[in-house]
Amino acid sequence: MKIKQLSFRIRIFLAMILLILMASVLIATITIYQYKEQTDEYNRGRLERKEESVNAAINYWLNSGNTFPLETKNLPFIFRDKIYEIANIEKSEINIYDLEGRLVKSSHSGFVKSDAPVILSDTILQGISDNANHIFVNIKTINDKSYQSSYSYITDNKFKPFGILNLRYVQDNEEQDKDLKEFLYRLGIVYVFMFVLAISLAYFLSSYITRSLKAITEKISQTRLSKRNEKIILKNASSEIGTLVNAYNEMVDELEESAIKLAKGEREQAWREMAKQVAHEIKNPLTPMRLTVQSFQRKFDPSDPNIEVKINEFSKMLIQQIDTLSTIASAFSNFANMPAQNREEIDVVEVVKQALDIFTEDYISFFPKQKSIIAKLDKTQVIRIVTNLVKNSTQSLEDVEHKNLEVTVSEDDKNVCIIIADNGKGISDEDGEHVFEPKFTTKTSGMGLGLAMVKNIIEAYNGSITFTSQLNTGTVFKVKLPKN
């Protein structure tokens, strides 16, 4: 998951933990570096003091006890026995080199061969000369022991060098390392405690900081135009959060006013449209009724021998138009007041077959995928769904030469599926957007309430109705209804 996708609270929490970890690592690194630097300075100071002590002992020997001339060739004789005495006192290995860097005398003794260089490198010789007759060499680890060496000239009474003194000091950092480990152990315990405390504190602070934002987010996510929205009330909110809350509360007031105006406008518009539709549908049968009555009034003759036949035709005409008016009233009543669902276990295959029996068209085919499909549905409403959809399909086939209409029924684990497919004139993309809207129709007759009513019935079951269509090719309606 990307960092940008994390919540604000988690990002604050992670940032605080990361900051504490970085600070802990930085402090530990600086501590270790400082400790080692102090240890190196301490060892170097000890080596310098030991070198001063060795030089003092050598100078004292050269000026008081030595009987050989202070020349390079006499170095093995001058320090023949004295080098062991000084090395034993100072507890360090001492090597004597001539001015050309060749080893002439060493205090090392024993079966193990000394690892001191037999010939000094040009770098060391040049270093002694360039650093005022004195040079330190970096620490080396030999046989698991750390050594630090110093090189300096051995001079005569006139400060003329005639040899090179090499003092090798074995560093014993065991105590320092032990102290460092103990210090780091204690520091680690403190860091673990601080880290646990920091996690708790970071979690609390991140939750506290984002608590107000979470409350605002929940309120905003629940905001709807179609319901009454509650305002946000936060105590002790920061100025930034307070500004956001005030802006939201003002928006809620404006939204409520807009919702009231919109609902009022929609109701008024719906009533106006419905009134226009009802008036239009009622006028259709009233016009022929009026013309029939006027014609009968003009031509009425009590002495006419065919008066009884004419009265019967007149009455039949009026009854037909009255039935039309009754049908219109029933259609609007059914759409406005959907009947309650009477759920019962029905065989959907059998019910669909019954719905198709009222149609006499020979091009209608029925293809059930199973012999029997049991579901808890309202039988009357299922019949209304099928008859309305099949009726629409038959009307779209009026101008088609080779008519074909297929009804298929199937089921899956949770749903019953009814498919009505025809090869009619199809539905354009523009009309397809309004197919399920009340009063929409592409026919010269009809009120455009059939598909709207079907959609209302299906949605009352939490089902779905979809369609695919292609002009001059056909249309397929697919209905899904839950079995329970």
Sequence-separated (6 or more) residues with CB below 8 Å from residue 156: 62, 70, 162
Confidence class for position 209, pLDDT limits 50, 70, 90: low
More confident residue, 420 or 182: 420
More confident residue, 46 or 5: 46
Between CA 46 and CA 49, with CA 48 as vertex, the angle to 5 degrees is 65
More confident residue, 180 or 280: 180
- Note whether 375 and 325 are same-domain residues: no
Over 50: is that where the pLDDT of 440 sits? Answer: no
- The torsion angles phi and psi of 453, rounded to 5 degrees, stand at -65, -45
Render pLDDT for 349-379 as a digit per residue (tens, 0 to 9): 999 999 998 888 999 999 999 999 999 999 9
| DSSP for residue 446 | S
Render pLDDT for 279-301 as a digit per residue (tens, 0 to 9): 655 665 666 667 667 777 777 77
Q: Which residue has the tokens 């060391």?
A: 124
Q: What is the pLDDT of residue 339?
A: 52
Domain that holds residue 25: 3-110+119-178
Answer for the pair 36, 139: CB distance below 8 angstroms, yes or no.
no
- Note whether 34 and 93 are same-domain residues: yes
Confidence class for position 411, pLDDT limits 50, 70, 90: very high
- Note whether 350 and 328 are same-domain residues: no
- Note whether 278 and 327 are same-domain residues: yes
- Note whether 349 and 299 are same-domain residues: no
Count of domains observed in the chain:
3
- Note whether 315 and 367 are same-domain residues: no
Q: Rounded to whole angstroms, how far apart are CA atoms 16 and 198?
A: 8
More confident residue, 121 or 143: 121
Confidence class for position 315, pLDDT limits 50, 70, 90: confident
Percentage of the chain lying above the pLDDT 70 cut = 72
Q: Is 234 exposed, middle or buried (0-12, 13-18, 19+ CB in 10 A)?
A: middle
User: Quick one: angle between helices 239-299 and 174-221, nearest 10?
Assistant: 30
- Note whether 135 and 22 are same-domain residues: yes
Confidence class for position 416, pLDDT limits 50, 70, 90: very high
Would you state the structure tokens that stand for residue 415, as one six-digit string?
Answer: 């749903």
Average pLDDT rounded to a whole number, residues 395-420: 92
Q: What is the pLDDT of residue 444?
A: 45
Domain CATH for 430 = 3.30.565.10
Over 70: is that where the pLDDT of 417 sits? Answer: yes
Q: What is the pLDDT of residue 386?
A: 93
Average pLDDT rounded to a whole number, residues 107-111: 71
Answer for the pair 249, 232: CB distance below 8 angstroms, yes or no.
yes
- Note whether 352 and 472 are same-domain residues: yes
Concatenating the DSSP letter of every residue in 168-237 gives EEEE--HHHHHHHHHHHHHHHHHHHHHHHHHHHHHHHHHHHHHHHHHHHHHHHHT--TTSPPPPP--SS-
In a domain, 183, yes or no: no
In a domain, 190, yes or no: no
In a domain, 213, yes or no: no
Q: What is the pLDDT of residue 406?
A: 96
Confidence class for position 275, pLDDT limits 50, 70, 90: low
Domain CATH for 134 = 3.30.450.20
Exposure string of 193-216, with b = 16+ CB inside 10 Å and e = fewer, is eeeeebeeebeeebeeebebeebb
Average pLDDT rounded to a whole number, residues 373-399: 90
